[in-house]
Amino acid sequence: MKMVFLDGYTLNPGDISLELLEQFGELTFYDRTPDDPKIVLERIGDAEILFTNKVHITREIIFNAPNLRYIGVMATGYNAIDIDAAREKRIPVTNIPSYGTAIVGQFAIALLLEICNQVGHHNRVVHEGKWIECPDYCFWDYPSIELMDKTIGIIGLGRIGKTTARIAKAMGMKVIATSADQDEEGAALAEYVSLDALLSGSDVIALHCPLTPETNGLINSATIEKMKDGVIIINNSRGQLVVEQDLADALNSGKVYFAGLDVISEEPMKADNPLLKAKNCIITPHISWAARESRMRLVNTAAENLRHFLDGDPINVVNK
């Protein structure tokens, strides 16, 4: 059985094994594939099994790949795949629903702690000689913020949101949340409130909701105006949740004290993104998910998805 992985470098730059996938057949692995239907079709060739992450698999590709019978998305999001066309061709599309829960929640808190303690900044200026030149035994360029008794508002209390909530509670924070789905587990971790109550009552707002027509551009000038002065915003969910110019304006005016972002609306980032020049904005390059442990978990789940498909009992199918 022939298999193709179109864009595997971010998953495996060389530090994990793909043996779990290779056991099923001949795997052709590409680090990257351009979003060019002609090149994509050439690389798929006569393969039956396709693995991809961000390469767009269009209707044209799906209907012109002669032997294709399975698409495995190596991520949770599957918006790069024309799932309706795949359904018409009776090609199941599977995703990886929960491989990064622990690390993404951890990373959200890492962004928050970096904002509150500025460890990276102070390490850098110490190495630049500022402490050597200092007349005092200590100094700080940013105020240190204690999180105990502060309120964190989590928009989207799913698996990742709950992980963030648990860590926040362990630090003594009050947790409030708004979520499309509410359950007893969530209620034990957070107080469910309306979006307006969350916006106005939070010292920190963390975004953990999916990108939908309703959440696209959720953080904008109107919703920011409802927030506390000096609020901190954390987003390592989806970049399109934020109207970036509005957030940049709020950072520059001081309405938003700081933002910690691991995602932006267009990735890789463009040089004219307004957040690059905004004050008090930490930006990391979409790496919340990238711990080796979570990438190994992703491969394990992808192998299980394929095994179940071959056994006639597909799981994690997004286009039933």
Q: What is the pLDDT of residue 194?
A: 98
Which of the residues are catalytic? 238, 267, 286
Task: Yes or no: say if 277 and 266 are a contact pair by the CB < 8 Å rule.
Answer: no
Tokens of 89: 């061709």
How does the average pLDDT of the chain come out, rounded? 97
pTM of the model: 0.94
Residue range 169-178: mean pLDDT, rounded: 98
Amino acid in the structure at residue 52: T
Q: What is the pLDDT of residue 1?
A: 96
| 305: nearest Cα among 127, 75, 105 | 75
Task: Yes or no: say if 51 and 4 are a contact pair by the CB < 8 Å rule.
Answer: yes
Q: What is the pLDDT of residue 26?
A: 98
pLDDT tens track for 206-262: 999 999 999 999 999 999 999 999 999 999 999 999 999 999 999 999 999 999 999
Model confidence band, residue 274 (pLDDT cutoffs 50, 70, 90) = very high
pLDDT tens track for 60-95: 999 999 999 999 999 998 989 999 999 999 999 999
Alpha-carbon distance 79 to 102, whole Å? Answer: 23
Residue range 103-125: mean pLDDT, rounded: 98
Q: What is the pLDDT of residue 121?
A: 97
DSSP symbols for the chain? -EEEESS-TTT-SSSS--HHHHTTSEEEE-S---S-HHHHHHHHTT-SEEEESSS-B-HHHHHH-TT--EEEESSS--TTB-HHHHHHTT--EE---STTHHHHHHHHHHHHHHHHH-HHHHHHHHHTTTTTT-SSS---SS-----TT-EEEEE--SHHHHHHHHHHHHTT-EEEEE-SS--HHHHHHSEE--HHHHHHH-SEEEE-PPP-TTTTT-BSHHHHHTSPTTEEEEE-S-GGGB-HHHHHHHHHHTSEEEEEES--SSSSPPTT-GGGGSSSEEE--S-TT--HHHHHHHHHHHHHHHHHHHTT---SBS--
Residue range 298-305: mean pLDDT, rounded: 98
Instruction: Provide the b/e sequence for 170-198 (b: ≥16 CB within 10 Å).
Output: eeebbbbbbbeeeeeebeebbeebeeeeb
Model confidence band, residue 14 (pLDDT cutoffs 50, 70, 90) = very high
Q: Which domains does the chain have, with CATH numbers?
A: 2-99+294-310 (3.40.50.720), 101-283 (3.40.50.720)
Model confidence band, residue 33 (pLDDT cutoffs 50, 70, 90) = very high
Model confidence band, residue 145 (pLDDT cutoffs 50, 70, 90) = very high
Q: What is the pLDDT of residue 92?
A: 98
Alpha-carbon distance 24 to 147, whole Å? Answer: 49
